[in-house]
Structure 1
Amino acid sequence: MPKVLVADKINEKGVEVLEGSAEIVNNPKITPEELLETIDQYDAIIVRSRTKMTKEVIENAKNLKIIARAGVGVDNIDLDAATDNGILVVNAPQSTSITVAEHAMGLMLALSRKIAIADASVKAGKWEKSKFMGMELRNKTLGVIGMGRIGSQVVKRSKAFEMDVIVYDPYISEDAAKELGVEIVSLDELITKADVMTIHVPLTPETKGLISKEQLAKMKDHAILLNCARGGIINEKDLYEALKERPDLKAGLDVYENEPLENSPLTTLDNVVLTPHIAASTKEAQRDAAIIVAKQVKEVLNGQTPSNVLNMPLVDSETFQQLKPYFELTKKLGQILVQTTTSNISELNIVYSGKITGRSKEPLTRELLKEFLNPILTEPVNSVNAKSVAKQRGIKLTEGETDDSGNYDATIKINVKYDDKEMTIEGTVENDEVKVISIDDYDVNLNLEGLMGIIKYVDLPGTIGKIGKVLGDYKINIAEMKVGRKSEGGEAVMVIKVDQEITDEVISELESTKDIDSVKSVKL
């Protein structure tokens, strides 16, 4: 009988799921030393956040088939080490969706009706009715930033309060928005129109400081700002200044730039409600998380594929070895695309060529989608759900193959259509290095690493000099440059590797320069 270690305390309902199908060792106080010494005895392990599945532990787990995280975050698990050792990693992202959405609604109500400060007043022996005049949610506008699993649940609940809903999510389709009864708007429009604004996006370089002084200044005087997503999306220093200067502006936070929250001036204000990162903490969520991961462990032990795999789907060893060099390529191509395309992706077409044809390329496609979608969604996109998530976002996915790979062993070519534009990028693996070999069918050849810029311009005398001058003025050094063109005097593409990041200010100046059409900054 397979052996399962429950290394952290989970709800008993999860343990019950496994009874009869595995020998269960329930040791929620196991030490790191004990874990390292005994991990080779187990076929599966269930953890929460306490137990650390480090590379050393995983490499000693000779019989381990699955690591199950009874929750969402997997910061305590070395995913790369698990993948390298053929161990599946699963979690339970759906377990907290309703719980977090309800917490956001609770903050919304607490702030709109001043419940927290009214409670403190009554407990202090006061009766200050006139001080706590509230605001109805009915007929107010809710602005939702991020329409993933949690954002959608907030929308459903706000409809019961008869609120109007506008959303900002560059990757939601019009059909999906229509089905939910929401209006898609720009971020700036959402900020200026919303009576209540709630954030449900991941913390990425693009979303860090998304709501800062400039955005706060545009909010309505009576507006409510909520964050149950990740700390750092709101600039807390700017938020404090705004709340202090505008007492009718309100905020509800469950997450912070630094946790636990200590010595924060936000705690001195009456127009803010603060909770200690508990949005996902309910008995029901913990129960559901335990049940979900226990079922997935049971599936793996029975030779089935679970639903929330975070690393990759199972393929035969021969196929895996053939595809292995191209995982890094699809990862890098996905990262480029998410940084260079904009909203409303409608189609994503992938063509594989050369020696990787004629066999399952599912892992590569899913790896690409994972890298492409993860930075813009709150819920994890993994190797199993990548295609269904793309479909939910209204992205039409097509996959094809051709024997013609030119002078290369194999290539991967991706075409993305968005708004009224499209972009094509093609890459390969050469001498164990991943390279981009063409952009929009212009030939380039450059290793995919570090800071890069993709510049479209008119191939006229002096244009490259203009580009170099602007970069030089901003002290940006060009480490390597490749240029692709089809004809003299026509459109050309330049791909450069730089030592310093090409900032928005630099992009703006370059794009305002004559004969330079577009500039994209990429960080790999």
Structure 2
Amino acid sequence: MKVLIADAINEKGIENLKEVAEVVVNTSITPEELADTIHEYNGIIVRSRTKLTADIIKKADNLQIIARAGVGVDNIDLDAATEKGIMVVNSPESTSVTVAEHTMGLILSMARKISIADKSVKEGKWEKKQFMGVELRNKTLGVIGMGRIGSQVVNRCKAFGMDAMAYDPYLPEEVAKQMGVDLTDLDTVLKNSDFITIHVPLTPETKHSVSYEQFDLMKDTAYIVNCSRGGVIDEEALYDALVNDKIGGAALDVYEEEPPATDSKLFELDNIVLTPHIAASTKEAQRDAAIIVADEIIDLAKGNNPKNVLNMPRIDKTTYQELAPYMGLCEKLGSFISQAVNGKIKEIEIVYSGELAEIDNLEILTRTVIQGAVNPFLSSPVNAVNAALVAKERGISITEGRKDNAKGYESLIKVIAKSETDTFSAEGTHLHEARILKVNGYWVDVIPEGHMFIAKYEDVPGSIGKIGTKLGEHNVNIGIMQVGRDEKGGRAIMVLTLDKEIPKDVIKEIQALDNVYEAIGLEL
């Protein structure tokens, strides 16, 4: 096996790899050189410098594995690698402890005013009374997102004698209890926590999910930390909360714009700690990343399955070509039903009909549905390979069925999400593009993309008009409208695509309208 090290990694990873492979280190290789020589290698290790584009991957006729020594894979064309049959792996666990420790450092810096006290002493001052701090002991930690990093932060805060509560839509109650965490809703976390730490991805759902309304819920002594993604906290709202003493303080390692503008108003404040996106930057994390990806390649060389595969399992080219048009549909269906169902998902049922039902192995499509269903709510990206495992860890059962009758279409895919209190279904097909044909049993015909809105209402005169008027009042324009009903005067459903995201307060206003019994905003 011949492996190219295209970006600098820790020497320990290279040493380990040499036990099973011929290793070529060329950390200054150009895109042109890589394109000319990529066919010579069975494996390649990159960080962020080297870009593995579709054009380069097409020439990688002997490549079996691409290893990213880190978390993000924006520099790798996953679709091209999948179609070529090349596994892509990364090292997500390498930074979990590192980021958790940085989070703890920021918590302690806020609690004891370490950074501003340091600055004061270096300026020749001795202002002891100004730097009165608070203990962590007997305080409540609130965690938004209980993935690898969130759970590590909880473990460390427990050692300081803190209590912990968390908001995570997919964490099972029993798992939370084992961690010693009270699982609750977001508002309860915000209202009752003394220190709040965020560990979620930046998605349309999480963008500015901590804004003016959320700061108003917090204690005026509360501290908040963000080491996840810039944009989860609305920085204008954060500035307002800090300058008006609505909260005790904040700490950021990530920002809406990186680097922040030199005239950022946050720089004026003493009750905020700022670091330059370094939460994952330690020697140990870089060493561990190199060892982890080397071990992945070693496993492959020995005939074992790598653990952190980011793209889909290998399938033959003919089957891939048959299923490829439906993969986008499956991800959209999963995301659609997970955002629309009320409560925490307990079960996902997938039913394939028509020509798809005749294909022996539909595991790729099932995993892609799950990927779409859980990705909006998790801090670590879920992929078609690890989707089933993630669902199992979150207490979600998956069932798969098949039917001959596709109701006049070549193939149909129906996805049903069940929670303790609700059931929501969507049914779709691929007709030149992904289309949803049925929602909760009502016939509609919509393209699942962009800003969407669902309203369930009584089919009486004026209901549709009131909803449209309310959207117009808030300058939200309707692109496409589809309505379905079971019978005249009965219950009906409206599915809209909108020109912009519908604000949460507008959804609440529509929900309050006469004859409307549910309103849901979605981002696909």
Q: Give the paired residue count.
A: 522
Stretch of structure 1 that moved more, 347-356 or 500-509:
500-509
Q: 1:463 to 1:214 in 2, by over 3 A?
A: closer
CA distance in 2, matches of 1:118, 1:502: 44
By how many angstroms is 1:100 displaced?
0.7
Question: Using the alignment, how far apart are the partners of 2:483 and 2:108 within structure 1?
Answer: 57
Alignment of 1:84-483 (within 5 A): 84-246=83-245, 249-263=248-262, 264-357=264-357, 358-430=359-431, 432-474=432-474, 476-483=476-483
Which segment is superposed worse, 80-89 or 99-108? Answer: 80-89
Letter in 1 for 2:98: T
CA distance in 2, matches of 1:57, 1:201: 32
One-letter amino acid of the structure 1 residue matched with residue 51 of structure 2: K
Partner Cα separation in structure 2 for residue 88 and residue 185 of structure 1? 38
The one-letter amino acid of 1:46's match is: I
For the residue of structure 2 that corresponds to 1:252, the secondary structure is strand
Deviation at 1:363, TM superposition (A): 0.9
Give the Å deviation of 1:483.
3.0
Deviation at 1:222, TM superposition (A): 2.5
1:523/1:220 CA distance change after superposition, 3 Å:
closer
Gaps of 5+ in 2: none
Residue 106 of structure 1 and its aligned partner are, at CA, apart by 1.2
State the Cα deviation string for residues 216-236 of structure 1 (Å, max 9, x = none). 233223222111111111222
Q: State the distance in 2 between where 1:479 and 1:220 align.
A: 41
TM-score normalised to structure 1 length: 0.93
Tell me the SS of whatever aligns to 2:233: coil
Per-residue Cα deviation, 1:448-496 (whole angstroms, up to 9, x for no partner): 3444332222223443344444445555554444333222221122333
2: distance between equivalents of 1:256 and 1:473?
32
Paired AA for residue 311 in structure 2: N
User: 1:3–1:24: 8 Å Cα contact kept in structure 2?
Assistant: yes
Contact 1:348-1:397 within 8 A present in 2 as well: yes
Change (3 A) 1:495 1:267: closer
My pick for the range that moved more, 502-511 or 31-40, is: 502-511
Give CA deviations for 1:288-344 in whole Å, capped at 9, x if unaligned. 111111122233345543221222111233332332221111011022123323442
- The SS at the match of 2:96 is helix
Deviates more, 1:227-236 or 1:498-507: 498-507
Paired with 2:3 and 2:484, the residues of 1 have a C-alpha distance of 56
2-structure distance, mates of 1:283, 1:27: 21
Q: Secondary structure at the match of 1:356?
A: helix
Q: Distance in 1 between matches of 2:247 and 2:286?
A: 36
**Do the aligned partners of residues 250 and 449 (structure 1) sit closer, same or farther apart at CA in structure 2, a change above 3 Å counting?**
closer
Task: State whether residues 145 and 168 of structure 2, in contact with CA within 8 Å, keep that contact through their aligned partners in structure 1.
Answer: yes
**Cα displacement (A) at 1:200:** 0.5
Distance 2:396 2:166 in 1: 18
Deviations 1:143-163 (A, max 9, x none): 111111111111111111111
C-alpha distance in 2 between matches for 1:208 and 1:115: 30
Q: 1:500 to 1:278 in 2, by over 3 A?
A: closer
Q: Give the superposed CA RMSD.
A: 2.3
**Aligned partner letter, 2:367:** R
Is contact 2:204-2:523 (8 Å) kept? no
Say whether the 8 Å CA contact 1:7–1:30 is kept in structure 2: yes
Residue 4 of structure 2 corresponds to which residue in structure 1?
A: 5
Whether contact under 8 Å (1:171, 1:343) holds in the other structure is no
How far off is 1:396 after superposition? Answer: 1.9
Conserved in 1, the CA contact under 8 Å of 2:145 and 2:199? yes
Contact 1:248 1:271 in 2 (8 A): no
Contact 2:218 2:247 in 1 (8 A): no
User: For the residues of structure 1 that align with 2:472 and 2:103, how far apart are their CA atoms?
Assistant: 47
The 8 Å contact of residues 168 and 186 in structure 1, kept in 2 or not, is answered as yes
Conserved? CA contact 1:484–1:493, under 8 Å: yes
Structure 2 SS opposite 1:413: strand
8 Å contact 1:5–1:26 — kept in the other structure?
A: yes
Q: Secondary structure at the match of 1:50?
A: coil
Q: Could you tell me whether the CA contact under 8 Å between 1:101 and 1:151 is conserved in 2? A: yes
Q: Shift of the alpha carbon at 1:110?
A: 1.7
In structure 2, C-alpha distance between the alignment counterparts of 1:53 and 1:389, rounded to whole Å = 27
The answer to which of 180-189 and 155-164 deviates more is 180-189
1:385 maps to a residue whose letter is: N
Residues 390-432 of structure 1, C-alpha deviation per residue, up to 9 Å, x if partnerless?
Answer: 12212122222223323222221111112411101111223x3
User: Are the aligned partners of 1:308 and 1:382 in contact in 2 as well (CA < 8 Å)?
Assistant: no
Secondary structure of 1:335's aligned partner: helix
2:215, 2:247 within 8 Å by CA — same for their partners in 1? no
Q: Residues 504 and 239 (structure 1 numbering): CA distance in 2 closer, same or farther, change over 3 Å?
A: closer
Local SS of the residue matching 2:135: coil
Change (3 A) 1:448 1:248: closer
SS of residue in 2 equivalent to 1:233: coil
**Change in CA separation of 1:156 and 1:322 when aligned onto 2, cut-off 3 Å:** same
8 Å contact kept, 2:83–2:320: no
